[in-house]
Chains A and B, each alone.
Chain A
Amino acid sequence: MSVSFGDYVYGAYKTTSGVLSTQVLLKTEALDFGLGGLKSIMLVDTGIDLSGASTAIVEVMLEYRNSRIDAFATTSWIKCDPHGVAYPLVTALEFKVNVRASDITDFAIDSIRFVVKQPDRRFGRSDVRAFKAGFTEEER
């Protein structure tokens, strides 16, 4: 028998039909950012730098609802800029954030940063809760 084995780990495996090998897919639990009432997601920063990866794509899609008894509606997939930032501009009570990355074999993500505005004035006092939840204020 003439078969070349390298100094590798060899595996017997099959690929699953529902998961693409070149795609990363992430979805968060429901997020309300510690704020009552409606809030707007202005920016989602995945922290993935796409410069230099010509075919790589990172996209963000939001699921959102305006009441806790409603089903989640979805936005379309929003393509991130070369710095991995998307600007979805969606106002709702709760969100689930989906991140999809294609053709990135060196994909790594350690945090997702959101910039959130709260247009719902009824919950102005909840700024205190926001600070307790770890927010840092950005005047814009």
Chain B
Amino acid sequence: MTASDAARLLRWYPAAWRERYGDELVALMEDELGGRDTSIRFRLSIALAGLRERAHGAGIVGRGASAAERARAGALLVLCAWTTFVVAGASFAKLSEHFDAAVPRASRGLPGGAYRQVQIVSVVAAALLVVAGCCVLPAFMRFVRRGGWSLIARAVWQATVSSAALAVAIVPLAAWAHHLSYGQRNGTDAAYSAAVVAAAALLVAVLGLWTRAAVVAGRRLELGRGVLAAVSSLAIGVAASMVAMTVGTAIWWAVMAEHAPWFLHGTPAGSGGSPFNPQLAATMALMAASVALGQYGVARIGRSWLELRRATP
């Protein structure tokens, strides 16, 4: 193992950990390998251990971090879960476009209600996130005034550049869409479909990069106990919203499968078919994964606040 191999492997670990244990770990790796090259399995085990250490350091797993740090990590996990949920929600919005027209008038009540539930709760969740942003804004301004900008500049710059790239990509795509028929916009024009997929991938990247910037900043803000309590409560609200939206989507799917299965396959109205739609299944799976991540964050927040309350006389 060369020195550069060791340095590359150590990069998986957080800086503070490398400072304390880095030399020892490299010495151990040298002793273990005895001059042999590192195998893929060996590198993978170091990478996983490094990521585990990062998760510990961030308060995402374990009890090494303080209760307040773990509560903050729980809230940031809910934020990450919300980002993945937005991707799933966008997919659902696309899949459910014009569903009203496909369902017999007498059967529109339930899917319409489930769909409205998803829409209303998504607005509520977005509002909760805006309120959370407002709560941490003073702390963010203090952080920037004290020279913290340099710590987040890279993440913000990457998110900004990707957003600009998305804006540049969307304008010609929208102009192109205006010249296409409904059928061409929905799959018969291969070039347009490929462009839409590329734009969607870019949108996912933009969402991910802004979330990363928010997490990078959020981990560094000095939050008072009151602000942390408010943000924790709002995060719990957002996580509950994701559960409600997932339930709404599942109800919508079930009702559509019963009353208008043709809509799920894009076949002519009145035709039968399986209620299974792979895209919708993938969307539901992503929603479920987001809900699980959000609930993990909520559990972390709950346990941390119980501990904080016990510690307060």
B partners with A: no
